[in-house]
Chains A and B, each alone.
Chain A
Amino acid sequence: MAVQLYGSVQSSEALAPTLNQEPPDFRQLFESEFGYVTRTLRYLGVHTCDLEDVTHDVFLHVYRHLPEFDATRPVRPWLFGFAYRIARDFRALARHKHEHSAQSADTADTGFGADELLLRNESLTRALSALDSLDADERAVFVAHVLDELPIPEVAQALAIALNTAYSRLRRARSKFAAAARRLTAKENHL
């Protein structure tokens, strides 16, 4: 399938307003959007080992604010707003920075077993590394628009930023991501 790196392919699943004006049932929302939330968190930079905690936090807040959800609007931008803020704040906590740095050291020492190494998706690893080259704000716009295919106005609204700011961040994110991709691919080819 053709990949639109710099454009927006609107996902009917994500964007179609529901006909039901009532707030969605929490359980249904959890079931249908769990994967979206976890992957979004992961792409926003939440470490795998923190994924359970942060996902749990996201859905706690979703549960609490569900009555405020406007059912005429698509749910994913709304969820993205939670995911973005919770991921951002989680990363900002010093104790989590510490945990991650400690874990990085452990990772270097432990490594994967041979079978696990085979399972690793090298492209995905590089892609995540490329994402890491973006700062948090740029990354959020990039993930929401390029990966989640949310329209930029929805992204701007979800992130509580001006439309022009969203476009600006997207532009920078694209540039950085492309540069990182070229760098990582070249490194891979060199190896």
Chain B
Amino acid sequence: MSDEPLDPAVDLISALRAGQNSSAVEDLLKRRVQSRLAVSLIGLTPTLSGTAPASNVAKAISGNSIAAARGIGISKGLIIASLAPVFALGVFTGMQYERAHVQQSAYLANPPIESVRASASVFRVGTPNDNGKNDAITSPESLELVPAARASSASSVGTPDAASSLAAERHLLDEARQALARGEPQTGMKPLGLHAKRFPRGVLTEEREALAVRLLAALGNQTAAIERAQRFHARFPNSLFIPAVDNAVAPFSKRHGDGEPNVLLPPVRHVAGASLLASLCMTFIAGCSAKTVDLGVNGAGSDPVYSNTVSVPLPDSGSNLPQVPTHIVDHGQNGCGYGQLMNMYTVDAGTLYWVWPDNDTSVTLRRCAVEHCADSVVKLTTVAAAGMACQLPVPKNSTQSDGDEIYWINPVINNVSSQVLMAASKTVASSSSIVWSRYDWGQSYLVSEGILYATTAQNTLIQCQASDCASTQARYDLVPPDDHSMNALSIIGLDEEYIYLSVATGTPPTRLLRVAKSPHAPVEVVLSMWPTSASDFVVQGDSVYWVEAVSLGQLLSCPKTGCANNKPTVLMSGLETPTGLAADDDNLYVLEPPVPFDSRPGRILKCPQSGCSEPTVLYTSTNEVSMGQLRVDDRFVYFAGTDCAEGTVWASPCGFIAAIPK
């Protein structure tokens, strides 16, 4: 029984439970942690001079943070030594208070594990005065963040071995930060550039990118700052530095409406760029003048956007051409932003379909045969948008093909409920909207044989006839109603009998589910649970595959019937933040996107479905700034991307869809 008196384990359990009582020493530790949090959560804000974000963060800790800051003078050694009797172990032996860096490795909440590194680091609070005592700190705003003594010398910067690379990284970022604090942001760009060059995959990459946004904003480079801030959000969606990043670009933003989040203003566009386009065409593109056939509802045979397109013939995959991607289509400057292209194309039966925002007020669906896009592009339809078409990203697989229809989530928003699922004929100029409010419905859908399967923001599965979803839909709750995680449910694949979904709520582990397609009471089967975040899935053959980008960098699989012991099979490890996955009958294709403006290239890898220790590298990117969703057919692997030069993102025809022979 539980309380056997003679069991010595009982005494030890009692001792451990008694040790859970609080102590005065613990309060000291609490104050120290509190003071560090007060600094860390502020992120990169160098001074807390009353700015709103700083105040907000300070409030998170607030109150005792002042006392905590004062307590910073208490030596860590004293505290640890004091804790020793409490925990009955450990002796503090000369540990320095100031550490060069505290790397916060990857942890995730329950259970997602993220590989997010936050630099908490090298800050002291307050400045010692001549008497060696801290100056009085009278408010959270008076906390001064001062870079601590360098752990590395200048010479160590050039020797990025395992021991010194972190210090060297820190040194470069400190230089940039200090330049910013001095009001010399231009000076700060150089060490940041050095950091990006020397440590493209450094542990302080997140910090560098946040700092870059602030420097660009300080330089008044609105376009680049917003662009980089957007990239930062995409790359580090949960970063501690997001408040600092947003604060940096706040002067460039406007309030979109009462009660709605701030929306970044679209970057300044360079409308007059014909000469640039012409020079690009003359320089490296054959077949600049793609013939456009306009079937659009706005008719008149003109296609001002795509008439500026450059494209080239697609190589024959059977030839001995080098493994370089061919741009099937490029977009001219009239397009309103390259990012939307990433998830807004699909390939079906050798035909490419893609949706491209023309401007803030319309989007257009086009198609071309993948091998003849240089010769003929068909403009299928143009759909009016009420505004901000360029601003709202769309989820993966947002464009899909089924039967005679193309479906896409329209990247249109003029209020929080206006993004809709569209359907258009592949052959004639027509389109219709399916009732879909992005903020009611979720961000995933699949269409098969005229049946639409979609998820809602409230984690409900919707099944309906795509042609008449409003009156035919059935809804199924697959997540406990008491779980308030929004958009936790995603459809990842279909087969003849089942719908496959992932569930990533805040508390339980990410789950892989399948439910019967039958409209009658789908049965949930838990296929797998794993403590990580998946970035892309594919259902192929007898298995479900996914890539885990956040911390593990693995390609994983699980039989459709369920993993043994809920443990997926690891097919490939060591991936660098894979974000895309595609499959054919034999192989899997993984996308490792490049790090924007860094020297780290992107890659497309090929691995047999049985797994591989060394994948085949199909492609290593050269000047692509970004690479998006992967698609595959029987001959090619497709990806969307951009190769915009920094600072000319909005002026260049730099969005493309490319193909590479398998």
A residues at B contact (CB < 8 Å): 2-7, 21, 26-27, 30, 34-36, 38-39, 42-43, 47-49, 51-53, 55-57, 59-65, 68-73, 78, 81-82, 85-86, 89-90, 93, 103, 106-107, 110-112, 116, 119-128, 130-131, 146-147, 157-160, 162, 165, 177-178, 181-182, 184-185
Complex Cα distance, B92 from A150, in Å, reads 32
What distance in Å separates the Cβ of B539 from its nearest Cβ neighbour in chain A?
23
Complex Cα distance, B113 from A159, in Å, reads 11
A residues within 8 A CB of B110? Answer: 78, 81-82, 157-158, 160
Complex Cα distance, B30 from A35, in Å, reads 8
Complex Cα distance, B84 from A177, in Å, reads 22
Complex Cα distance, B16 from A47, in Å, reads 16
Complex Cα distance, B37 from A36, in Å, reads 17
Complex Cα distance, B76 from A106, in Å, reads 17
Chain A proximity mask over B2-15: 1 for CB below 8 Å, otherwise 0: 11100111111111
Let me know if B33 is at the binding interface, CB within 8 A: yes
Interface size (B, Cβ < 8 Å)? 80
Query: Ordered nearest first, which 10 A-B pairs have the shortest CB separation?
Result: A48-B90, A68-B506, A119-B85, A160-B111, A160-B531, A127-B12, A123-B15, A160-B509, A181-B9, A4-B2
| Residues from 1 to 38 in B contacting A, C-beta threshold 8 Å | 1-4, 7-20, 22, 26, 29-30, 32-34, 36-37
A120 near B85 with CB under 8 A, answer yes
| Residues from 58 to 100 in B contacting A, C-beta threshold 8 Å | 59-63, 76, 79-81, 83-93, 95, 99
Known: A3-B2, A4-B3. A27 touches B60 (CB 8 A): yes
Known: A60-B120, A110-B91. A124 touches B484 (CB 8 A): no
Given contact pairs A30-B61, A85-B113, A160-B529, enumerate 20 new A-B contacts (beta carbons under 8 Å): A3-B10, A5-B4, A27-B63, A47-B89, A48-B83, A55-B29, A62-B109, A68-B109, A69-B506, A70-B485, A70-B506, A71-B484, A72-B482, A85-B108, A103-B90, A103-B93, A123-B12, A124-B19, A162-B566, A181-B12
Known: A26-B60, A48-B83, A48-B87. A70 touches B41 (CB 8 A): no
A residues within 8 A CB of B506? Answer: 65, 68-70
Using CB atoms, name the residue of chain A closest to B99.
A53
A121 near B85 with CB under 8 A, answer yes
B residues within 8 A CB of A125? Answer: 88-89
B residues within 8 A CB of A38? Answer: 26, 29-30
A182 near B22 with CB under 8 A, answer no
Complex Cα distance, B103 from A60, in Å, reads 12
Complex Cα distance, B84 from A30, in Å, reads 22
B13 near A35 with CB under 8 A, answer no
What distance in Å separates the Cβ of B58 from its nearest Cβ neighbour in chain A?
10
A130 near B33 with CB under 8 A, answer no
A51 near B29 with CB under 8 A, answer yes
Complex Cα distance, B81 from A106, in Å, reads 14
Let me know if B40 is at the binding interface, CB within 8 A: yes
Let me know if B106 is at the binding interface, CB within 8 A: yes
Complex Cα distance, B55 from A159, in Å, reads 35
What distance in Å separates the Cβ of B568 from its nearest Cβ neighbour in chain A?
12
Interface of A (DSSP majority class) = helix
A52's partner among B33, B81, B485 (CB-CB below 8 A) is B33
B13 near A3 with CB under 8 A, answer yes
Let me know if B252 is at the binding interface, CB within 8 A: no
What distance in Å separates the Cβ of A106 from its nearest Cβ neighbour in chain B?
4
Chain A proximity mask over B596-607: 1 for CB below 8 Å, otherwise 0: 000000000000
A residues within 8 A CB of B102? Answer: 53, 56-57
B residues within 8 A CB of A39? Answer: 19-20
Using CB atoms, name the residue of chain A closest to B530.
A160
A35 near B22 with CB under 8 A, answer yes
Known: A56-B33, A59-B37, A89-B105. A73 touches B76 (CB 8 A): no
A106 near B91 with CB under 8 A, answer yes
Known: A48-B89, A56-B120, A68-B109. A123 touches B37 (CB 8 A): no
B92 near A49 with CB under 8 A, answer yes
Q: List 30 A-B contacts (CB under 8 A).
A: A5-B7, A27-B63, A49-B90, A51-B80, A51-B83, A52-B36, A56-B37, A61-B108, A61-B109, A63-B37, A64-B238, A65-B108, A65-B506, A68-B109, A68-B506, A69-B109, A70-B506, A85-B108, A89-B107, A103-B90, A110-B93, A121-B19, A124-B16, A128-B87, A128-B88, A147-B20, A160-B508, A160-B531, A162-B529, A182-B8
Known: A4-B3, A27-B61. A63 touches B88 (CB 8 A): no
| Residues from 223 to 250 in B contacting A, C-beta threshold 8 Å | 238, 240
Using CB atoms, name the residue of chain B closest to A39.
B20
Let me know if B565 is at the binding interface, CB within 8 A: yes
Complex Cα distance, B367 from A20, in Å, reads 52
Known: A90-B105, A181-B12. A120 touches B19 (CB 8 A): no
Known: A121-B88, A162-B529. A147 touches B17 (CB 8 A): yes
Let me know if B507 is at the binding interface, CB within 8 A: yes
Using CB atoms, name the residue of chain A closest to B20.
A39
B residues within 8 A CB of A49? Answer: 80, 90, 92, 95
What distance in Å separates the Cβ of A11 from its nearest Cβ neighbour in chain B?
11
A181 near B11 with CB under 8 A, answer yes
B residues within 8 A CB of A26? Answer: 60-61
